Amino acid sequence: MTKHQQLQRRLGVADATAIGLGSMLGAGVFVVFAPAARLAGSLLLVAIALAGAVAYCNAVASAQLAAKYPQSGGTYIYGRKQLGEWPGFLAGWGFVTGKSASCAAMALTFGQYVAPGYATPAAIAAVAALTGVNLLGITRTAFLTRILLAVVLATLAFVAAASILGPHVAGVGTVSGPGSAWGILPAAGLVFFAFAGYARIATLGEEVKDPARVIPRAVLGALAGALAIYLLLGALLLAHLPVQVLASSTAPLLDAVEQSRLAAGAPAVQAGAAAASLGALLALITGVGRTAMAMARERDLPVPLARVGGRHPVPVTAELAVAAVVVLLLLTTDVLTVVGLSSFGVLLYYAVTNAAAFTLRDRPRHAPRWLNAAGLAGCLLLAFTLPAASALGMAAVMAAGLAGRAVVLAFRKRRLS
């Protein structure tokens, strides 16, 4: 087996938590409340809580496994170690494909906020710049993530103040079927998209100091912070904007400020949304690059993607390949339509995570086996209640990846025979 250069352990609890929280408080928080409210109506908070409960199960499973296998690659590695090569590949392929689309969505969100008439060029420039930051080393990534996280938190605090001060808007229009039990499930699936950032902590397992202690604390700390913020924002938006207005909004947090006594601060919200997009994009590129590197180490992706180099060891080839794929998506596709595809892929990724954690023998008290089973069931439930186009589209992508791996393995076997 080829000996690969190892990454360096530089991240402590604060940096790892910031990367996870920065990923979760990305551009999704500025747009996810509207489509979720359209499905769940006044029961939006129930959908947020349900998504948070599933995310908690996944976070516990991720923390268990990352402490046992402190390597880059996240559930791709866990699936291979605990369940076998095929489940591991399923998780890795779902993560790389789904999150590559998410990278493009975050980049385009940034472009639309800072340069509406030139969104695609601005998005490509953001991808190039942040890839350059990643190539400078993981400590630079963590430092910039902390700066962007501070900007986003300040923006969200401003939105909360505007929602509290009012004046509160009178309701207009109607929303079909708000608050139905069926609407809560797909709404929770969409909200889960905004919770998925803690996976980035696990994918950076090879670069975390004392992973058995740091990773569980960072994962659970980032998730707790994100859940509290989402529930608070959801409650304030429902109190400030009628559910009909919230459900029809394209930028609910911006609308909340524009309909308040602090309307003059709307440009600050736009700047915060741009910073959030950059923070999410930075963490996404980092995580996808590490997972691609891990898959290449096991020859599930082209071996050159496993190369680690540079003055500050990073997966150079994988990072550049991810950037190239994202730029291609930006040039050829309206990637905002694939958020549902990304959610489906990530939910499958976490289904494998929970299944792998279920097989662990040594487990802490806070991680009983039934919690892993509940997480697995929750992931599958949310995945298959997403819109049919999302489920079928990602199923086709997953099938293509599995078929491709089968062909490659058959070719290798034939060469050896």
How many Cβ atoms sit within 10 Å of the Cβ of residue 278? 28
Backbone angles phi, psi at 11, to 5 degrees: -95, 130
Its pTM stands at 0.78
Cα distance from N-terminal residue to C-terminal residue, the chain:
19
Q: Residue 3: inside a domain, yes or no?
A: no
Number of structural domains (the chain) is 1
In a domain, 8, yes or no: no
314 phi, psi to nearest 5 deg: -140, 160
**Per-residue model confidence (pLDDT) at position 335:** 55
Task: Establish if 173 belongs to a structural domain.
Answer: yes
CATH number of domain containing 363: 1.20.1740.10
What's 62's DSSP letter? H
The CB-side HSE value for 79 (13 A sphere, CA atoms) comes to: 26
**What are the beta bridge partners of residue 204?**
72
Task: Examine residue 406 and state whether it is found in any structural domain, yes or no.
Answer: yes
**Letter for the amino acid at 238?**
L
Query: Closest by alpha carbon to 245, among 182, 161, 167, 168?
Result: 168
- Please report whether residue 4 resides in a domain: no
- Render pLDDT for 109-136 as a digit per residue (tens, 0 to 9): 888 778 878 888 999 999 999 888 777 7
What residue type is 102 in one-letter code?
S
DSSP per position, 175-241: -SSTT-HHHHHHHHHHHHHHHGGGHHHHHBGGGBSSHHHHHHHHHHHHHHHHHHHHHHHHHHHHHHS
- Residue 397 sits in which domain range? 13-416
pLDDT tier at 175 (50, 70, 90 boundaries)? very low
CB 56 within 8 A of CB 223: yes
pLDDT in tens, 131-151: 887 777 655 556 766 777 788
Residue 24 inside a domain? The answer is yes
Residue 290 above 60 pLDDT? yes
Res. 174: pLDDT tops 90: no
